[in-house]
Amino acid sequence: MRKLIPAAAAVAVAALALTACSGGGGTSEPAATGEIKGEITLQTWSLTPKFQPYLDKVIKGFEAKYPGTKVKLLDQPGDGYSDKIVSQASTDSLPDVVNIPPDYGVALAKSGALLDISSVQKDLDKTYVAGALDAFKYRGLDGVYGLPWYLNTDISYWNATQMTAAGLDPKKLPTTVDEQIAQAKIMHDASGGKNFLMSSKPAVGDFARAGVPILNEDGTKTAFSTDAAVQLLQKYVDAYKAGYYPSSVLNDDYLGNSQLFTKGQVAFSTGGGPAYKDFVRDNPSLAKSIVMGPALNDQPPLYVQGLAIAKKSKNQATALAFANWILNPENQLEFANLTNTFPSTTASASDPSLSKSDGTPAGDAKVLAFNSLQKAKVLSPIEFNDAMNKILNQQVSLAMKGDVPAKKALDDAASQIDKLLANQ
């Protein structure tokens, strides 16, 4: 399973029993005309063998409800998936129902390979969480080119023991980047520079979270090299220069904020709701130290995986019916609980297994993350690909090292990324 994204997004478990022949329900039947019969292929992304039993059960239930249908499951490995679906689309061999993240779908939608689902199903806004559905609405195109499947987001994790030792109050956690930097200074000064409350350099999502536009309205040029972005980057530059970061944060051997947090080398990390269990499993001494809070600046990121329908599917009505089947609230809830993610349907919002904690810290973390989904947004534009992220990260590192001024770093990143955007 691809991490939701990063994290995927990865990318959260009380199973809702669902028998092989149980009715799904919850979402409406597809508006597409045509008889629901025939064979289709569902292509998933790195979900088997771990989730094969679940997928087999969902498929069996669909085939029982719609006699005369047959669903073939095709799972693709994690690496090279983007290239795989582009190749399939270019050879008219895109499977009928395709597991796809929003950024992988934009090129396919623009090339006409995906069905505009809103053209045949009119109740999407009532069925799915708004931010998740919006992820499949692409600039320059009318319509919706995928249905959100499973979701995740990040919350903030803090080490209360280290904060208390520095004279900070874990009940008054930072809620903004400015507050985090201010408390990072206090921790740095109190520990003689040995403890850290900052653990990663700013990325594209951090600029978006601060209200900086990343691209222009039509997504053809960068828009992030603004005075506001320079001022934000300068705050991180100054914090790094002042010693509020571990020096490894700009090195090639940087482990990432979650690993440093697990090792007790930093007192802050981001992570999804299930991250609490991972932290404590890998370092049991953290069990009495971790406290959780919302994402900084009250803007959590949204990580989305979805299902798209091939426009050239020979059994489009069956493909759409199956997508609705696998996405119905019951099937989604079972999958979410299996995968430590969250369902995308509005009908799931009041489910007590998601919205009420069992009183444990892990339960509290899960509910905090679930509630955060209501305001979560996809922070990185779908046009902003891995190569562009790499360019921005390189320039941010140069600025934080003091090799170039913050403005020049952002101007240089914008210039290089504009060239890539021109070729999209």
Q: Distance between CA 339 and CA 1 in Å, rounded?
A: 8
pTM: 0.83
Q: Please, where are the H alpha helices in 66-213? A: 81-90, 102-110, 124-127, 130-134, 160-165, 177-190, 204-209
Indicate the residue type of 175.
Answer: T
Predicted local distance difference test score (pLDDT) of residue 393: 96
Give yes or no for a contact between 332 and 12, defined as CB atoms under 8 angstroms apart: no
Q: Is-contact 377 131, C-beta < 8 A?
A: yes
Q: Residues in the chain with pLDDT < 70?
A: 1-33
pLDDT at 171: 96
- Asked if the domains at 38-151+302-374 and 155-301+380-422 fall in one CATH topology, the answer is yes
pLDDT at 32: 55
**Neighbour-count burial of 298, counting CB atoms closer than 10 A to its CB (0-12 exposed, 13-18 middle, 19+ buried):** exposed
pLDDT in tens, 264-314: 999 999 999 989 999 999 999 999 999 999 999 999 999 999 999 999 999
Domain ranges for the chain:
38-151+302-374, 155-301+380-422
Amino acid sitting at position 250: L
Helix (H) or strand (E) holding 148: strand 147-152
Q: Are strands 38-45 and 97-100 parallel, antiparallel or unpaired?
A: parallel
For residue 33, the model assigns a pLDDT of 62
- Domain boundaries 38-151+302-374, corresponding CATH code: 3.40.190.10
pLDDT digits (tens, 9 = 90+) for 346-403: 998 778 888 899 999 999 999 999 999 888 999 999 889 889 999 999 999 999 999 9
Which residues does 251 contact at the CB level (< 8 Å), separation at least 6? none
Amino acid, single-letter form, for residue 96 = D
* Positive or negative torsion for Cα 324, 326, 327, 328: positive
DSSP result, 27-45: SPPP---S---EEEEEEEE
CA separation for the pair 127, 265 (Å, rounded) = 43
Domain 155-301+380-422 of CATH type 3.90.79.10: no
Q: Which of 126, 39, 42 is nearest to 308 (CA)?
A: 42
What single letter denotes the amino acid at residue 259? Q
